[in-house]
Amino acid sequence: MNMKKLMVLMVFAAIMIFTAACGNSNGASDSEGAANGSGDGSQASESNNVGGELKGRIVVGGSSALQPLAAAAAKGFMDKHPGVEIQVQGGGSGTGLSQVAKGNFDIGDSDYFAEAKEGIDAGALVDHKVAVVGMTAAVNPEAGVKNLSQEDLIKVFTGKVTNWKEVGGNDVKITLVNRPDGSGTRATFVKFALKGATPAEGIIQDSSNTVKKIIQQTPGAIGYEAFSYFDGSGKMVKLSIDGVEATDENVKNGKFPIWAYEHMYTKGEPDPIEKAFIEYMLSDEIQKGLVPQQGYISATQMQVERNAAGEVTKK
């Protein structure tokens, strides 16, 4: 009997510890993150004074669209600064914003402005726009369309038109492939291609590669992809809109409207390592090398600017 009582006691003790740990995790990680941040900062500035060399460790994470570019740039940065370790993670734009706001990530990657998200104090975050991603509708070749007016595109995505022949294509049924709610790609496409109209129901997939596969194998399917997912093989048509081709050049000069910034957010002003890494991201070496290589558009070469409300202005 004694034994049983002891067991019960121990189980309860363990539960208490567990729940206490769960409850406090936010606070604990906050202070930990802050401590780490300041530690990194002082360490970095200290060694700056001594040898002019950065030293420390930062975590970058969030948007899976930006992850490959961030990872490749981090590798280049670490080769230049052997004392710095940069860990790049994915997890989605929402995760990036939440974690940088909490202090768990030093840099939070996001496909959309922090202002666009509920539950994030955008005022506490500093925005660094490191690249631009152009997107357009991706169409199965059997649809027989290469260009649509924006008006027709909205009709297709809102379900007002259900057969491609109604918008000048072949007699094939339209199948919509959407992204999930909250996806940065979906938000960008809805806002700038569909002028805010809610897409009709269809297949929903998150991964760009799965969407590509579905569009390629389903006759009459239409979805939306970043430019980098079109490989020119003709299995997936890169749709022109209102006669404007979906090219990097047309995004840069503001003729093609569907694009989004890739943001890197820091909590407050960046500390020396974060600052050096973001400056490296914006350097010509990356903006003219890795950025176009990986299918992104250089942020520094944009001739137009867009704010969080979506208003576009000439630079």
Partner 1 sequence: MVKNETTKERWFGKKSEWRGKLVIYSSAIFILAATVAITLFLTLKGLQSFLVSKLDVVYFLTHVNWHPEQDHYGALAFIFGSFAVTILSAAVAAPLGIGSAIFMTEIAKKWGQKLLQPVIEILVGIPSVVYGFIGLTVIVPFIGKYIGGLGYGILAGAVVVGVMILPTVTSIAADAVKSIPDDIKNASYALGATRWQTIYKVIIPAALPSLLTAVVLGMARAFGEALAVQMVIGNARGFPDSLVDPAATLTTIITLSMGHTTYGSTLNNALWSLGLILLVMSYVFILLIRFLSKRKNS
Of the pair 1, 50, the CB lying nearest partner 1 is at 1
Q: How far apart are CB 232 and partner 1 at their closest, in Å? A: 22
Q: Can you list the positions of beta strands (E) in the chain? A: 56-62, 84-91, 107-110, 125-139, 147-148, 175-178, 203-204, 221-226, 237-238, 240-241, 259-267, 297-298, 304-306, 312-314
Q: How far apart are CB 284 and partner 1 at their closest, in Å? A: 32
Please list the alpha-helical segments (H only) found in 64-183.
67-80, 93-102, 150-157
Q: How far apart are CB 253 and partner 1 at their closest, in Å? A: 30
The residues of the shown chain that bind partner 1, judged by CB under 8 A, are: 1-3, 7, 10-11, 14-15, 17-19, 22, 64, 91-95, 97-98, 102, 117-120, 175, 180-184, 198, 201-206, 210, 213-214, 217-218
- Phi, psi (deg, nearest 5) at residue 209: -70, -40
Q: How far apart are CB 295 and partner 1 at their closest, in Å? A: 21
Of the pair 252, 267, the CB lying nearest partner 1 is at 267
Of the pair 43, 104, the CB lying nearest partner 1 is at 104
Q: At 299, is the secondary structure helix, strand, or coil?
A: coil
Burial (CB count within 10 angstroms: exposed 0-12, middle 13-18, buried 19+), residue 291:
buried
Of the pair 164, 256, the CB lying nearest partner 1 is at 164
Q: How far is residue 195's CA from residue 225's CA, in Å, rounded to a whole number?
A: 17
Q: How far apart are CB 11 and partner 1 at their closest, in Å? A: 5
Contacts 24+ apart (CB under 8 A), 289-293: 290/69, 290/72, 290/73, 290/76, 291/69, 291/131, 292/248
Of the pair 22, 309, the CB lying nearest partner 1 is at 22
Please list the alpha-helical segments (H only) found in 52-149.
67-80, 93-102
Q: Can you read off the two tokens belonging to residue 139?
A: 């169409």
Strand partners, 173: 163
Of the pair 62, 272, the CB lying nearest partner 1 is at 62
Q: How far apart are CB 269 and partner 1 at their closest, in Å? A: 22
Of the pair 2, 313, the CB lying nearest partner 1 is at 2
Q: Can you read off the two tokens belonging to residue 143?
A: 């649809």
Q: How far apart are CB 198 and partner 1 at their closest, in Å? A: 7
